[in-house]
Amino acid sequence: MLTHHLQLSPKTVSDIVQYLDEHIAPVLGHDVSNYALGRRRSWLQYEAPLSPYRQWKPGLRDQRIWNFLVKTCAKFNFVPDVGLVTREGQIDTHRDARYASPLAVGVNLGPVTFHYGEHALDFKGGEVFTFNSKVPHATSNVSPNRWAFNLWTVSRHEIDRYLRIQEEYPLEA
């Protein structure tokens, strides 16, 4: 089930996008996923493994962005462990990998069509929503300058490895 929790104001969206353009765009890498050609991304806090054969790695640490995301998610009682910030490029139909618990948060910052199960939803920007990340989902009609955040809690399958990367690379208090 997809639930729309909040609508960020156009001013908030504009402020976040300006910050992302100035501070985050220069450090984005190209997405390595074969279903996300043209998308640029950076993991927040820790980089989750997309297969059980890969390792957790340290991710981008931007306290301003992370604090905003945690504060936003707290309004509907979600506490993220990891996140992904993305720009540009569409993503083909997929389910999120085993690192992710089913409940995920999306923060959309630009025009896009979000495909979820059998539904296609036209988003304008500013939508904050939860969805089941194990239900097939995709994007299309992606605005060239669209930014987005996706946030997850770590699944029971990966919690031990996640706790080890936290010990090795602790977050600042």
Judge contact between 116 and 2, C-beta under 8 A.
Answer: yes
Tokens coding 68 = 């905003």
What pLDDT, on a 0 to 100 scale, did the predictor assign at position 37?
A: 78
Distance separating alpha carbons of residues 82 and 105, to the nearest angstrom: 11
- Residue recorded with tokens 């104001």: 9
Radius of gyration of the chain (CA): 15
Burial class (CB in 10 A: 0-12, 13-18, 19+), 98: middle
Q: Is 22 exposed, middle or buried (0-12, 13-18, 19+ CB in 10 A)?
A: exposed
Q: In the numeric block, which tokens belong to residue 142?
A: 């992606």
Round to whole Å and give the CA distance between 69 and 151.
Answer: 9
Task: Name the residue ranges covered by the structural domains of the chain.
Answer: 3-133+149-168
Residues 6 or more apart whose Cβ sits within 8 Å of residue 134: 95, 96, 102
- Judge whether 131 and 137 are in contact, CB under 8 Å: yes
Q: Predicted confidence band at 89 (pLDDT cuts at 50, 70, 90)?
A: confident
pLDDT 10s digits, 93-128: 999 999 999 999 999 999 999 999 999 999 999 999
**In this structure, which amino acid lies at residue 127?**
E
CA distance 70 to 31: 24
For residue range 134-161, what is the model confidence (pLDDT) as tens digits? Answer: 999 999 999 999 999 999 999 999 999 9
Mean pLDDT score across all residues of the chain: 94
Q: Look at residue 173 and tell me whether its pLDDT is greater than 70.
A: no
* Sign for the pseudo-dihedral over CA of 16, 18, 22, 25: positive
User: How far is it, in rounded angstroms, from Cα 82 to Cα 99?
Assistant: 10
